[in-house]
Chains A and B, each alone.
Chain A
Amino acid sequence: MIFGMWDEVLFHLGPIPVDHLVVTEWVLIALIGTIAYLATRNMQLVPRGLQNAFEAIIIWTYDFFTQLMDKEHVAKKWAPLLTAFFLFILFSNYSGLIPGAANIPGYQPPTSNWNVTMTLALITFFSVHIAGFSEHGGGYFRHFVSPNPAFLPLNLIEEIAHPLSLTVRLFGNIFGEEMVIAFLLFLAPFIIPSAMMGLSLLLGAIQAIVFTILSASYIAASTGEAH
């Protein structure tokens, strides 16, 4: 087994096996969805409470991605996906810090499994090319032979290296962090692991931000004027 490549199956949904990672992801999606539902169920012209907070976050998010991606229409089109990446990765990273989570047999945060991080990276990979093609049409594919056709192999390697680096960085950081916490809990429970868990709060947020802004910069590069 390579780092949770095949996890224990909890139950079957028809022919599809469902393991604990999938169940954890469903719980996280339900949690994010519930918060979004509570914020938008009773929309007012003058926002208050959770709606007010969410509107401020959405405005900040659009502004942030517009500055990052240069083109406003591209930023508005892809901001929902990028924000979803951020929230899912953040909630997933933090799910390993929930008290008592370690007592659930086989439990691990979804982002500490490379199947999950690779799926997220592949969504980015396809989004980048869809964004580039929808912005430039057939001319988008010229960048594969830029600056001249001799660079085709290097450009192809670069395109494959992007999702690989996204996958390995997120998985490596979260998996490593989980291993260190587990090891410290085994050696000296309660006091010493608390410091590492505090650091994990920062690390989890940083990794979510890095994945999101890298995905945004790949989309910005594919939709940019250079293509």
Chain B
Amino acid sequence: MVQRQKKHWARALSDAINMVTTAAAAIALCGLGGYWLDAKLGTDRWLTVIGVLLGVATGMKVMWDKMQATETTIPRDDSQDKDKDKEELT
């Protein structure tokens, strides 16, 4: 059975920010790269469009990877964690 693993708040926050900003940065990077190449090669916006699409694809891949990492087939047993915490304290 697929269960969602309880995440540390900082990991959840970093995943959310990472998804959004990496997608935005990838679109900006590829779009501007395509724009620059269009100006160099005179290819009339084609490379800008391809660049933006490549950036969108990268953004979707980042989101897909995060979703895959969130789901785990290993059920979480909180009682084991408590035992581990006790061992660490002693």
Q: Does the CB pair A157–B55 fall under 8 Å? A: yes
Q: Does the CB pair A217–B11 fall under 8 Å? A: yes
Known: A157-B54, A217-B11. A162 touches B61 (CB 8 A): no
Residues from chain A with a CB closer than 8 A to the CB of B30 are 157
Known: A67-B8, A151-B61, A226-B69. A157 touches B14 (CB 8 A): no
Q: Which of B10, B15, B30 is the most central at the interface, judged by chain A CB atoms within 10 Å of its CB?
A: B10
Residues from chain B with a CB closer than 8 A to the CB of A47 are none
A23 to B58, CA, bound (A): 39
A-B contact count (CB 8 A): 62
Interface magnitude class on chain A:
20 to 34
Chain B nearest CB: distance from A227 CB in Å?
A: 12
* B 1-42 contacts with A by CB, 8 A: 8, 10-11, 13-15, 17-18, 21-22, 24-26, 28-30
* B 33-79 contacts with A by CB, 8 A: 54-55, 57-58, 61-62, 69
Cross-interface CB contact of A68 among B11, B25, B54, B61, cutoff 8 Å: B11
* A 153-208 contacts with B by CB, 8 A: 153-155, 157-158, 160-162, 164-165, 168-169
Q: Does the CB pair B61–A154 fall under 8 Å? A: yes
Chain A nearest CB: distance from B47 CB in Å?
A: 14
Residues from chain B with a CB closer than 8 A to the CB of A67 are 8, 10-11
Residues from chain B with a CB closer than 8 A to the CB of A151 are 61
Q: Does the CB pair B11–A161 fall under 8 Å? A: no
A157 to B54, CA, bound (A): 9
Chain A nearest CB: distance from B78 CB in Å?
A: 14
Given A67-B8, A68-B10, A210-B17, list of 18 further CB < 8 A pairs?
A68-B14, A153-B54, A154-B54, A154-B58, A160-B29, A161-B22, A161-B25, A161-B58, A162-B22, A162-B25, A164-B29, A165-B21, A169-B21, A210-B13, A213-B13, A214-B17, A220-B11, A226-B69
A-side residues, CB < 8 A to B, are 64, 67-68, 151, 153-155, 157-158, 160-162, 164-165, 168-169, 210, 213-214, 216-218, 220, 226
In the complex, 26 of the A-B residue pairs with CB atoms within 8 angstroms, ordered by the A residue number, are: A67-B8, A67-B10, A68-B14, A151-B61, A154-B54, A154-B57, A157-B29, A157-B30, A157-B55, A158-B22, A158-B61, A158-B62, A160-B29, A161-B25, A164-B29, A165-B21, A168-B25, A169-B21, A210-B14, A210-B17, A213-B10, A214-B14, A214-B18, A217-B11, A217-B14, A218-B18
